[in-house]
Amino acid sequence: MGQFEKISEHIWIMHAEHDTDRPIIAAIAGERRTLMLDGGNSALHAQQFKEYLVAQGVRLPDLVVLTHWHWDHSIGVHAWNIPIISHSETAKVLTDLKKIEWTVAALEFLSKDEIINDESMGHILKEYGDPSSIEIAVPDVLFQNNLLIELGGVTCEVLHVGGDHASDSCFVYVNEDSVLFLGDALAPSVYGGPRKYTSSGFLKLMSIMHQFNAEIFIESHGVPTERKQFLEEIGAWEKLAQLVENYQNNSDFILKELAGSSI
C-alpha cells in the first residue's frame, strides 16, 4: 500500500512507488468539483487512492487530466470512469494503444519497436501479472496549448510544454495553492533509443517553469519539494545545460566550470 499526504489546502497525493514505477497521482478539490491529476498505472493504483480519498472525506474526482501518455500515468485512468482531459497528441497515442491486444508478446513487440522499453515491460508485468487485463481509455476533452479548469475557488492551468521525455508533456499549476506539477517533463527521453537530454530542450522547460510563482514543485517520480530547495537542486542542472548550450565543443572548459559543482 502506498503512502498518502495532504500537501496543501486543496491537494491530496499518493506518493510515487518505484517498485512498479507508480508516479505521484493527485486530487485537487474545489468547492464544486475535484480534478484528478494522472490516472495511475493500474486499476489497483487508482483504487487505493480512491479508498484514501473516501476515508479523508474528499469529494471523489469529477475529471482527470493526463500530464502525458506514458503507460504509468495513463493505463489506470479507465478505473476512474470520469471524463478524461489531455493534450491532442496524448489522445492520438492512446487511441493507437487501444487497438492492441495486450499479451506478453505484444509487450515484447512494443519494447523491440522502442514504443516502450524493457524496464517498462518489467514494471508492467510486475504491476499486472497478466497484461490481458490492461484497458486503455481514450481522452474525451482535448487541447492544443493550454487550458484553464475552474473547480470552484480553485483554478488549475494545464500547459503543454513538450520536452525530451515526451513531446506531449504538460505542466499543471494550481494557482491558489502555488503548486506546480511538472509531470515527467524535466526527465530525459526514455523511449525511442538511449536516454538523453538536449540542452536547448531543457533550458526551454526551465524558462517556462520560472514563469510560475510556485512554492511547491512536484515531479511525478520524486517528492513534493519547497521552492528554495527545488531551485537549488535544479539550478545545478540548469547551469550544466547552459554551459553545454554555449560551449558545446569545449568540454575542457565545461568541466572546469563545473569543478566543485554538486552535479
pLDDT digits (tens, 9 = 90+) for 1-45: 579 999 999 999 999 999 999 999 999 999 999 999 999 999 999
Region 99-126: mean pLDDT is 96
> pLDDT band for position 226 (50/70/90)?
very high
pTM of the full structure = 0.93
Rounded to whole angstroms, how far apart are CA atoms 152 and 31? 5
Q: Which of 28, 74, 18 lies closest to 53, judged by CA? A: 28
The answer on pLDDT for 261 being more than 60 is: no
Could you identify the residue written with the cell 492551468? Answer: 157
pLDDT at residue 76 greater than cutoff 80:
yes
pLDDT value at residue 74: 98
Q: How confident is the model at residue 91, as a pLDDT?
A: 98
> Would you place residue 98 in the very low, low, confident or very high pLDDT band (cuts 50, 70, 90)?
very high
Residue 172: what pLDDT?
Answer: 98
Is 262's pLDDT higher than 90? no
% of the chain with per-residue pLDDT over 70: 94
- Note the pLDDT of residue 150: 98
- Reply yes or no on domain 4-258 having CATH 2.40.50.140: no
Average pLDDT rounded to a whole number, residues 128-145: 96
* HSE value, Cβ hemisphere, 13 Å, CA-based, for 30: 17
> Tell me, what's the pLDDT at 194?
85
